[in-house]
Amino acid sequence: MDKGALVERPDVKIFLPFRFYFFRPEELFTPNTYNTYLAAPGGDHLVSLIDEITFVAPSSPPLSQIEDIPPEQFCNGDNRPPNCGPNCMCTHKVDIPLGAIVEIVLVDEVQQVNLSHPFHLHGMPFYVIGMGRSPDSNVKKINLKHALELDRRGMIRRDFTRPPQKDTIAVPNNGYVVLRFRADNPGYWLMHCHFLFHTVIGMNFIVHIGTQADLPPVPPDFPRCGNHLPPIRFY
């Protein structure tokens, strides 16, 4: 057990709600936009949002070619591009200092019965220190606001005694999970729902740990790649 990660107050605490955005038909083919969507059985056209952002893969690998990625392509809940719209498309990246104790609370705002999204983190395992649904029977659907309120009132319990260590956890539908890890592996790590049809419509974000100085140099003959399409306006 990493007892140092299982302390009352983490260094970084992030609440991340996730949900779907359903397109109206007239939104789908707006000139000069390029929407990605899933055509679901039943006819819905949707994208995933984590903290109101649908993830777009960067045009080059950040690990080896960070200088080739326009900084404005990155975003997060605190730094969304202006006029991003309801299907805000950018490369969702959360910056974490190397060595920080991180707590992530994932909140299911999809709330589809029998659908519990399996979230997977690359790079390091995490402890699952909390999981549940709202104890308030008047609240039929959980959301970020309610989860924050529960946390403020001390009603999101955290178990530090013997939490399981995992690399994937199903977030109970209409509920939440509380994860803890020590950010001791520098780099750019994807965290994403492991339903592939949710990954392709943006249910991902990058956990960026440390700085470029914490990474080994890129080998001189390392393969390079990039975006071969003309620039696409995402937002």
Q: Which residue lies nearer to Cu ion by CB, 158 or 166?
A: 166
Structure tokens at 225: 């790649």
Q: Could you tell me the smallest distance in angstroms from the CB atom of residue 116 to Cu ion?
A: 9
**Hey, which residues between 102 and 131 contact Cu ion (CB under 5 A)?**
117
Q: Which residue lies nearer to Cu ion by CB, 103 or 108?
A: 108
**Distance (Å, whole) CA 176 – CA 19:** 13
According to DSSP, the residues that pair with 90 across neighbouring strands are 55
Collect all residues with Cβ–Cβ distance below 8 Å to 134 and sequence separation of at least 6: 142, 146, 150, 174, 175
195 binds Cu ion (CB under 5 A): yes
Piece of 30-38, 79-87, 202-210, 219-227 that binds Cu ion (CB under 5 A) = 202-210
Q: Which residue lies nearer to Cu ion by CB, 36 or 73?
A: 36
Collect all residues with Cβ–Cβ distance below 8 Å to 61 and sequence separation of at least 6: 225
Collect all residues with Cβ–Cβ distance below 8 Å to 132 and sequence separation of at least 6: 156, 157, 172, 175, 176
209 binds Cu ion (CB under 5 A): no
Q: Which residue lies nearer to Cu ion by CB, 112 or 211?
A: 112
Q: Given candidates 193, 201, 206, 209, which one binds Cu ion under the rule CB under 5 A?
A: 193
Return residues touching Cu ion (CB under 5 A).
117, 193, 195, 198, 203
